[in-house]
Structure 1
Amino acid sequence: STFDSWMAIVTVLCVGGVAVFTRGMLQRLLILVGLLIAYVIYAIVTNGMGLGKPIDFSIVANAAWFGMPKFTAPVFEPQAMTLLVPIAVILVAENLGHIKAVSAMTGYNLDRYVGRAFIGDGLATIVSGFAGGTGVTTYAENIGVMAVTKIYSTLVFVIAAVIALVLGFSPKFGAVIQTIPGPVLGGVSIVVFGLIAVTGARIWVVNKVDFSDNRNLIVAAVTLVLGAGDFSLKLGSFGLGGIGTATFGAIILYALLRRKPAQEAAV
């Protein structure tokens, strides 16, 4: 709705304001602080002034403080496995892209850790699958937060993982997360995924990608729009989201537009 769109813009302004006009710890926590400010504004406007869809706090009151997550034993279904296998290619490409992004942000060559990262992702996905969870990856949101906070310490991620595990046993905390309005989450997503796009462009600059070559220009232009626009494709019961179409689009386009050596030499 129009109201939701305006609230998303307000959220973007909150995060941007914290990023630019604060210093120290507040600035480093700009995503969290910006989200909290936007959350309070949304609550005042909806629950207090009666505009838009109000936040339902009853789910928080009714949730228990402690509870066990739901675990499910793995089930081997060939059809489901066939549909999910191509996603592995997307996750590999996404993981590699994130490593390159962190390399560009930190100024360190992390190529020697690529194999270790892939093994870590694979093992984590196996563990997740045996407990009924989904495949895991290095999330773009985390890379975006790293870009804006300038915090690259791996210890921070270990601590965050432990906190996330502990909070996973609290339905009360899960209920609080569920109360975050969609427009607020959407506004934060605009900032975070925008940071990822800019980091990608920075990688091109650092690696001196030749955009006078029309092949590079077309591949970059098409895949940017596919990914940012969340261009989806349905192939029977199998669906590809924006990251999937962008990944395969880049690979296929680059292969199709590849010139023969003789042509390249002539040029």
Structure 2
Amino acid sequence: MLFFVLTGGRVPSYLGSSFAFIAVVIAATGYAGSGPNPNIALALGGIVAAGALYTLIGLIVMAAGTGWVEKLMPPAVTGAIGVAIGLNLAPVAVGQLKGTWTHLLIALATVLCMALISTYGPRATRRVAVLVAIAFGYLLVLVLGNGLGIVPGIDFAAVSNAAWFGLPQFVKPEFTWAATSLIAPVAIVLVAENLGHIKALGSITGRDMDPYIGRGFVGDGLATMLSGANGGTGITTYAENIGVMAMTRVYSTLIFVFAACVAILLGLSPKFGTLLQTIPAPVLAGLAVSVFGLIASAMARIWVENKVDFSQPRNLFTVGITLIFGAGDFTVTIGQFALGGIGTATIAALVVYQLLGLKRD
């Protein structure tokens, strides 16, 4: 709703939780991958910082235009940073797969379900493949666990005791240099995502959306700060609605206001939130493998769509160094200052690309 107001209701897009934050939040908090994150406050400070940096970039774009952004962060750079974030999550996904053979089978069945639905399902079903996979894995655990007792079943006691209506749990951010330096660089990825989305929206609607790019950045950045300041996730514009609009040719922005109201109502139901927390660990493990991998592969699409020439050493070295730093979680530590793999990968992508682009005498 904040994005709607700041863009004057002119940009048919909505904001949602950004996958780009997953790796850095896990790294900053040492999250084990099961249940609510007990150290989320540490990540929230970094999320607010990322939103502030994002907002600042938006204000500069509003004043100076988008040319400098596209020059500083061309497709070779933004794609490399995005893929590095996905690869940085690989050890987390593999770690969640470890367990009994039944745990592994349910996780892999969830992965296979999502892949099959995404490939062979009807168009409408493919867009909610994650939800279908969750439902499939959930049902599998109900049958094998609650029904046959082969695996641990799902305990609904907490759901029964939860109230239908109530305020969500708000958490105040804690600001530490370690978390901020790790999470703030994600703003670069958000800029790339939002820029691409608004360009795509202009293409399918036949309208010039460039005047709203800076306002879109500011709206997204302020929304990320608002979310992080109260216990929520980092925010980004979602590409899913672009495909839906291309199919339906419905470009009304009022739809997103209605969707926001529904989301707020669901957020006021502790019972709904508690039900989500009953999703079994092997199902979450399967989702981790699928979703974390999709982060990397989806960002690699930037190279394909923009026809990045990998025969050029400039692109090869930029991407290669960035991926090694990100996937290997290359961390630089100087005293109490530490810059993790996502941060070093981001800096490497920006610096190496520009350095290799210097003109020769």
What does residue 213 of structure 1 align with?
Answer: 312
2:115 partner letter: G
Cα deviation 1:115-170 (Å, max 9, x = unaligned)? 1222112322443355x33563217xx54xx29x9325666654443222111111
1:25-64 alignment, distance < 5 Å: 25-64=124-163
Q: How far has the Cα of 1:234 moved from its partner? A: 7.1
What does residue 167 of structure 1 align with?
Answer: 266
Cα deviation 1:175-195 (Å, max 9, x = unaligned)? 111011232223224333433
What does residue 186 of structure 2 align with?
Answer: 91
RMSD: 3.5
1:17 paired with 2:119, answer: no
Relative to structure 1, the CA distance from residue 33 to residue 191 in structure 2 (aligned partners, 3 Å threshold; closer, same or farther) is same
What does residue 261 of structure 1 align with?
Answer: 359
Q: How many correspondences in the alignment?
A: 251
Counterpart selection for 1:192 from 291, 300, 305:
291
8 A Cα contact 1:104 1:206, kept in partner? no
Return 55-64 or 217-226, whichever deviates more: 217-226
8 A Cα contact 2:166 2:268, kept in partner? yes
| Residue ranges of structure 1 left out of the alignment (5+ in a row) | none
1:136 paired with 2:234, answer: yes
8 A Cα contact 2:181 2:338, kept in partner? no
Could you say what secondary structure the match of 2:302 adopts? helix
Distance in 2 between residues matched to 1:60 and 1:38, nearest whole Å: 19
Distance in 1 between residues matched to 2:346 and 2:290, nearest whole Å: 22
Q: How far has the Cα of 1:259 moved from its partner? A: 5.5
Distance in 2 between residues matched to 1:25 and 1:135, nearest whole Å: 27
Relative to structure 1, the CA distance from residue 157 to residue 8 in structure 2 (aligned partners, 3 Å threshold; closer, same or farther) is farther
| Residue ranges of structure 2 left out of the alignment (5+ in a row) | 1-98, 246-250
8 A Cα contact 2:228 2:234, kept in partner? no
What does residue 127 of structure 1 align with?
Answer: 226
Q: How far has the Cα of 1:7 moved from its partner? A: 2.0
Relative to structure 1, the CA distance from residue 240 to residue 86 in structure 2 (aligned partners, 3 Å threshold; closer, same or farther) is closer
8 A Cα contact 1:215 1:254, kept in partner? yes
2:322 partner letter: T
Cα deviation 1:193-222 (Å, max 9, x = unaligned)? 433433322221232222112231132234
TM-score by length of 2: 0.57
1:96 partner letter: V
Relative to structure 1, the CA distance from residue 259 to residue 24 in structure 2 (aligned partners, 3 Å threshold; closer, same or farther) is closer
TM-score by length of 1: 0.74
Q: How far has the Cα of 1:36 moved from its partner? A: 0.5
Return 94-103 or 209-218, whichever deviates more: 94-103
8 A Cα contact 1:96 1:114, kept in partner? no
What does residue 231 of structure 1 align with?
Answer: 329
Q: Which has the higher contact order (CA 8 A, sep 6+)?
A: 2
Could you say what secondary structure the match of 2:235 adopts? coil
Relative to structure 1, the CA distance from residue 211 to residue 24 in structure 2 (aligned partners, 3 Å threshold; closer, same or farther) is closer
Return 163-172 or 241-250, whichever deviates more: 241-250
